[in-house]
């Protein structure tokens, strides 16, 4: 069936990450490897945090929420991308496209807010260590996590219906590897300038709120660290915060390019590369960055789990 005939259906056609590339096999293998590593690393992190009592702290509770978001985030786009890379028909139904947009917006929005709240957690830990157990008790942690999930889902419920109610009466070919709103709106046969302006304002606010929390938190942390006389205390504070700052820089940098920079700075190829980075690579990097920066806690939890498993096997023999 020709491309022209396929566009006559109500389905969209995803051109994919690479168009007419001879390196498809290599790229497929790399993306599959990243996907497996990302899902495995995040699930292991969630399991360790749940099983090891030493990791039952506010920081690791919020980190477990980040791992859940990253797992759902990468599962929203990558499986479809991998299937499309080895199949002839690269179609996605109108409903499936809407679901993908909703899940994608919910996960990315939730992660925006969660990273901001994680900065607040670091602020309390460094600047108010004696009051930390009270200020970041279990009830507060649950409320913070629920707030992050609610903020992300609100973004999904707000933007998805509007996007899917725009008339698409022309080409059905999306020059992307998933249904990202800017790429989908290029197919609209109505004026979407007002909606794009509203979406731009919404995205700026969603970036501005957590970035304000992060900036304020780390400004206060820097002042506190500067006043510390203990070199060991400074090192501990730096180690505690550096992993979070690394994740924030990577994630917000890519999001800023996609949703804040004007259209004149964008090309379809650049958009796909940046989107691939924060939808495929970032979910893999997050657990690895936190594991390396907090390797004593994570490796200790893993060793404890393995010791319990080996002891259990000896008793059952």
pLDDT digits (tens, 9 = 90+) for 133-174: 999 999 999 999 999 999 999 989 999 999 999 888 878 899
DSSP code per residue over 13-39: EE--SSSS-TTHHHHHHHHHHHHHHHH
> What is the DSSP annotation of 301-317?
HHHHHHHHHHHHHHHH-
Q: What integer pLDDT is reported at residue 74 of this predicted model?
A: 95
Q: pLDDT tens digits, residue range 201-245?
A: 888 888 888 889 999 998 898 888 878 777 776 776 776 677 778
CA–CA separation, 163 vs 196, rounded Å? 10
Closest to 103 (Cα-Cα) out of 133, 137, 51, 68: 68
Taking phi first (over 0 means left), then psi (-120 to 50 degrees means alpha), and beta for anything else, what does residue 16 get?
A: left
pLDDT at 100 exceeding the cut of 50: yes
Inform me whether the pLDDT recorded for 7 exceeds 80. Answer: no
**Spatial separation of the C-alpha atoms in residues 278 and 38, rounded to whole Å:** 12
253: Cα within 13 Å, side-chain hemisphere = 9
Q: Is the pLDDT of residue 301 over 60?
A: yes
Give the number of C-alpha atoms closer than 13 A to the C-alpha of residue 189, restricted to the C-beta side.
Answer: 6
Three-class secondary structure of residue 12 per DSSP: strand
Confidence of residue 36 (pLDDT cuts 50, 70, 90): very high
Q: What angle do CA 14, 17, 20 make, to 5 degrees?
A: 90
**How far apart (Å, rounded) are the C-alpha atoms in residues 237 and 191?**
51
Q: What is the C-alpha to C-alpha distance for residues 36 and 85, in angstroms, rounded to an integer?
A: 17
Q: How high is the mean pLDDT of the chain? A: 84
Residue 54 DSSP class: G
pLDDT above 70: residue 296: no
Q: Is the pLDDT assigned to residue 125 strictly greater than 50? A: yes
pLDDT given at position 152: 93
DSSP string, 253-272: HHHHHHHTS-GGG--HHHHH
Would you call 149 helix, strand, or coil by DSSP?
A: helix
Enter the pTM of the model: 0.86
Cα 284 to chain centroid distance, Å, stands at 10
Q: pLDDT tens for residues 177-198?
A: 999 898 899 899 888 888 888 8
Q: Is residue 8 predicted with pLDDT exceeding 60?
A: no
The first and second tokens of residue 188, run together, are: 């609209």
> CB–CB of 54/300 below 8 Å?
yes
Query: Residue for token digits 């309390």?
Result: 124
Q: How confident is the model at residue 255 (pLDDT cuts 50, 70, 90)?
A: confident
Put the strands of the sheet holding 12-14 in their side by side order: 91-92, 12-14, 173-174
Please say if the pLDDT value at position 264 is more than 80.
Answer: no
Residues 113-123 have pLDDT tens digits of 999 999 999 89
* More confident call, 212 vs 261: 212
């Amino acid at each position: 069936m020709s491309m022209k005939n396929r566009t006559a259906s109500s389905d969209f056609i995803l051109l994919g990450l690479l168009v007419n590339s001879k390196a498809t096999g290599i790229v497929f293998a790399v993306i599959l490897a990243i996907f497996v590593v990302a899902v495995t690393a995040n699930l292991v992190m969630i399991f360790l945090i749940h099983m090891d009592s030493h990791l039952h702290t506010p920081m690791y509770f919020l980190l477990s929420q980040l791992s859940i978001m990253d797992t759902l985030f990468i599962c929203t786009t990558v499986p479809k991308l991998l299937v499309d890379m080895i199949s002839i028909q690269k179609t996605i139904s109108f409903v499936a496209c809407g679901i993908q947009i909703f899940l994608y917006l919910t996960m990315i929005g939730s992660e925006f807010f969660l990273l901001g709240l994680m900065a607040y957690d670091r602020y309390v830990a460094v600047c108010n260590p004696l009051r930390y157990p009270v200020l970041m008790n279990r009830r507060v942690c649950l409320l913070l996590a629920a707030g992050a999930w609610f903020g992300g889902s609100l973004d999904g419920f707000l933007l998805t219906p509007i996007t899917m109610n725009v008339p698409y009466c022309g080409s059905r070919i999306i020059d992307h590897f998933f249904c990202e709103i800017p790429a989908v709106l290029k197919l609209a046969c109505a004026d979407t300038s007002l909606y794009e302006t509203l979406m731009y304002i919404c995205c700026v606010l969603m970036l501005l709120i957590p970035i304000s929390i992060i900036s304020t938190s780390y400004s206060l942390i820097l002042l506190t660290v500067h006043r510390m006389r203990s070199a060991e205390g400074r090192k501990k504070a730096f180690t505690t915060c550096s992993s979070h700052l690394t994740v924030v820089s990577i994630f917000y940098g890519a999001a800023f390019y996609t949703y804040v920079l004007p259209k004149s700075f964008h090309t379809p190829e650049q958009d796909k590369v940046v989107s691939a980075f924060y939808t495929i690579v970032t979910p893999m990097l997050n657990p690895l960055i936190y594991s390396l920066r907090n390797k004593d806690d994570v490796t200790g939890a893993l060793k404890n789990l393995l010791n319990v498993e080996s002891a259990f096997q000896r008793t059952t023999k």
